[in-house]
Amino acid sequence: MESDNKYHITLPIYELKYSEEKDWNTISEKAALEDLLDNFERITPIISEMLHGKEINTQRGIFRIKNYWELNQTFQFVNAIESIKKNVSNVDVDDQT
């Protein structure tokens, strides 16, 4: 069955690297956000930094968003489409100058 969605939605993939380990472990969004809430009063700025590729240190370990580059590309694409739609809707099609 084919989806009627216009956009492919990409969700963040959160990873955690414990201090004593060298490998990254994929963790659930819930676990990542709960840990960030335990360490920071405001997590929106932290998530924004993570969406730009920053790794965040906490007592538990280092957090990052694995697919931040893909998410940024998706956001840029959606913003470009919305801008085009807005510009097209402002064009007066009866004006044939």
User: How do residues 55-91 score in pLDDT, each as one tens digit?
Assistant: 999 988 999 988 876 766 666 666 677 778 777 766 5
Q: What is the pLDDT of residues 27-62, one digit of tens each?
A: 999 999 999 999 999 999 999 898 888 999 998 899
Q: CA distances (Å), 29 to each of 36, 63, 81, in order?
A: 10, 11, 28
Q: What is the mean pLDDT of residues 12-16?
A: 88
Q: Which pLDDT belongs to residue 87?
A: 75
Q: Which pLDDT belongs to residue 67?
A: 82
Q: Which pLDDT belongs to residue 85?
A: 76
Backbone angles phi and psi of 23, in degrees to 5: -100, 150
